[in-house]
Amino acid sequence: MKELVIDLEAEKNEILKRYRALLRVCKPTLQKGDKGMIRKAFDMALESHKDMRRKSGEPYIYHPIAVAQIAAEEIGLGTTSIVCALLHDVVEDTDVSLDDIEREFGKKVAKIIDGLTKISGVFDTNSSLQAENFRKMLLTLADDVRVILIKLADRLHNMRTMEFMPRDKQLKLSSETIYLYAPLAHRLGLYAIKSELEDLSMKYTERETYQVIKKNLNEKKTEREKFINGFVDPIQKVLTDQGLDADVFGRPKSIHSIWNKMKKKSIPFEEVYDLFAIRIILDSIPEHEKADCWKAYSIVTDLYRPNPDRLRDWISSPKANGYESLHTTVMGPRGQWVEVQIRTKRMNEIAEKGFAAHWKYKESSSDSGLDQWVQKVRDMLKNPDSNALDFLDDFKMNLFSDEIFIFTPKGALIQLPTDATALDFAFEIHSDVGASCIGAKVNHKLVPLSHKLQNGDQVEIITSSKQSPKEDWLNFVVTAKAKAKIKSALKEEKRKVAEDGKEILERKLKSLKITYNSDNIQKLSYFFKLQSTQDLFYNVAKGLIDMKDLREYVASEKMVEIKPQEKIETDQVQSMLRSIKTKDSDILLIGEDLQKIDYKLANCCNPIPGDDVFGFITVSDGIKIHRTNCPNATKLMSNYGYRVVKARWTNQQELAFLTGLRLTGIDDVGLINKLTTVISHDFKVNIRSITIDSDNGIFEGSIMVYVNDTQHLDNLIKKLNAVKGITSVTRFDSIIEKAS
């Protein structure tokens, strides 16, 4: 008993130590009365959570203190946010009510806590469709962006302390983090937090790869530091000689970004050269900032030869999230490319602390990119037609992508996401311009609507009163605004056609002596497998359903019971899960019970025996088997956790599975012949398709082959790599498909 008292005493001291550390971080921004307010919030949190502990066994209060510290130190938020961070869980987890909070701390704090409470359930483990909740979360962004920033601090602390959670929770939280929170941090300009969230997610989703890269980075640390010092010293010397006050240092790239580079270029760790970036932070007064940055650029490029294609100037045109910096890539002394980032202290603070730093510099900054961003979010949220998942994809696509700058004929600047087309530009100008657009002139040349725009293009839109939005436009527009407007125009058009169809159907049913009432119309829609009665009327008007079809309906004696689509899905999910779980375990064994359980291999990642896989229950295709590192996996786990089934392969040799190989090499006479000989004769493997592109003596090809399992595939890859002239052979995934 005595020992417990000592423990509690030690914990009490630790809590106070952490609280004092938090106060030290807040000190620079404290106004009169702020300290008392923070103390009051701390006391309330301490009292409310006094009997609660975290999974690790630590007192729960450690979590709110840590979240408040991240909000203050790493995001740069002020007293109101620190108070809210300390209290962010009390309304949800304890007896304290919102009214109590408002009485003690005022309306503003209560409103932010209310926002945090509303979105705390956004990603609870039982929530089956997080997209709708994510939408609610973003609605609060329109009220007060601090809600989102505190939520990010909360998620960051949870990710940092996740080792005590069960494996399935770790995977789920990591998937959500990489899918939503990391891009959100990126978009709000919090680059340090974005990188850490990505690394922490990878630590749990790609455990082995993460550890290998981490180990490699540590082993080469001394060598890397020596290289950085040799590279930086001459720059530092010239900057000082020229009267520029600057900090020059090397910053290692995140594990996640190194992994991305390895995947993108299909290269091993040893071949990734830019494992770090050099950063030059200048101490400049606002009016000299631009000139000083370019002066530093000139010094760097005098010392080292720059790569002209790799200059990025975000000082003249900052990114929409306020990011300003000058990036260049130069050739280092050992013949390798080194990225150099040049910015001032103010720019660096905005780059590190994003949104929060923006408020601090608001008076001196004319850049309203962030206000425009929040406005864009509001516009998207107001669109009542968009389905939650479409909305989520549109949101990610629009707000988490880099932007390009396009000029109007009069020289006005319009910002669009990368890959935007002439049609997106037309809709960005005005909905009516977009709807009646028939083509465009880009830099005075005539181009089609689907033409992808490049940074700096000048675009003039050509319209016609006879033009109206077409269904295929949706295939090439990328902005949410264009998509929403096209969809609503098509909907309106469909509604008009359906009105005519309704009258035609009424006449036809009368001649067949069928009463025209809502019950029969529902039955007809179900008989023709249509989603809605509007689709039924539309198909009648378009002649897709005629008298012959209606007579067939009359002839079918049995009327099928009508079930709403959602119900069917839930029932199917439940019954499939039951059919799997009646066995000894809840793992789906692939290769057994083919008749009993209907499963298919997903096209997006072409799994083969030996791959780590999971099952995903779809409405129309039974269970689909995906690789755990499939491009769609994080999205599926994040949005439809309840439809994911654990799966593994049973041993089976006789089945062949389709997979793809990408090859590169030096073009040589008879090379194709050598490759096909290895595949067909030596390995007795069937080839489904082969495509080869040759350009100036270099060839790139892809081959679709049938193999038994991963071991079979690895042996084939080894054998192909041994063919003279081949430089690389990698497995690839095919198209990314929609989560159905």
Scan for tokens 């949870």, then name that residue: 158
In contact, 636 and 623? CB cutoff 8 Å: no
Q: Which helix (H) or strand (E) holds 64?
A: helix 62-69
Q: Within its chain, how far is the Cα of 325 from the centroid?
A: 24
Write out the catalytic residue numbers: 92-93
In terms of phi and psi (left: phi > 0; alpha: psi -120 to 50; beta: otherwise), the region of 106 is left
Other beta carbons less than 10 A from residue 223's beta carbon: 9
In 467-621, alpha helices (H): 480-511, 518-527, 533-541, 547-555, 565-581
* The 3-state secondary structure of 194-239, one letter per residue: HHHHHHHHHHHHCHHHHHHHHHHHHHCHHHHHHHHHHHHHHHHHHH
- The three-class DSSP label of residue 404 is strand
Residues 6+ apart with CB under 8 A from 46: 15, 61
Question: Taking every pair of C-alpha atoms in the chain, what is the biggest distance, in angstroms?
Answer: 97
CA distance 68 to 23: 10
- Sign of the dihedral through C-alpha 623, 628, 633, 637: positive
CA distance 329 to 326: 10
CA distance 331 to 310: 11
In contact, 501 and 537? CB cutoff 8 Å: yes
Q: Which helix (H) or strand (E) holds 672?
A: helix 671-676
DSSP secondary structure, 252-299, as one string: EPPHHHHHHHHHHHT--GGG---SEEEEEEE---GGGHHHHHHHHHHH
The amino acid that residue 617 corresponds to is: I
Other beta carbons less than 10 A from residue 160's beta carbon: 13
Burial of 491 (0-12, 13-18, 19+ CB in 10 A): exposed
Q: In what side-by-side order are the strands of the sheet with 459-463? A: 445-447, 437-442, 459-463
Q: Which helix (H) or strand (E) holds 614?
A: strand 613-617
- The three-class DSSP label of residue 724 is coil
- The three-class DSSP label of residue 602 is coil
Strand partners, 649: 590
**Closest C-alpha among 592, 574, 729 to residue 649:** 592
DSSP letter (8 states) at residue 425: H
* The 3-state secondary structure of 432-443, one letter per residue: HHHHCEEEEEEC
CA distance 163 to 577: 29
* Segment 688-696 long-range contacts (CB within 8 Å, at least 24 positions apart): 688/658, 694/667
DSSP letter (8 states) at residue 53: B
Backbone angles phi, psi at 377, to 5 degrees: -60, -45
**Closest C-alpha among 286, 268, 279, 193 to residue 235:** 279
DSSP secondary structure, 138-180, as one string: HHHHHH-THHHHHHHHHHHHHHHT-TTS-HHHHHHHHHHIIII
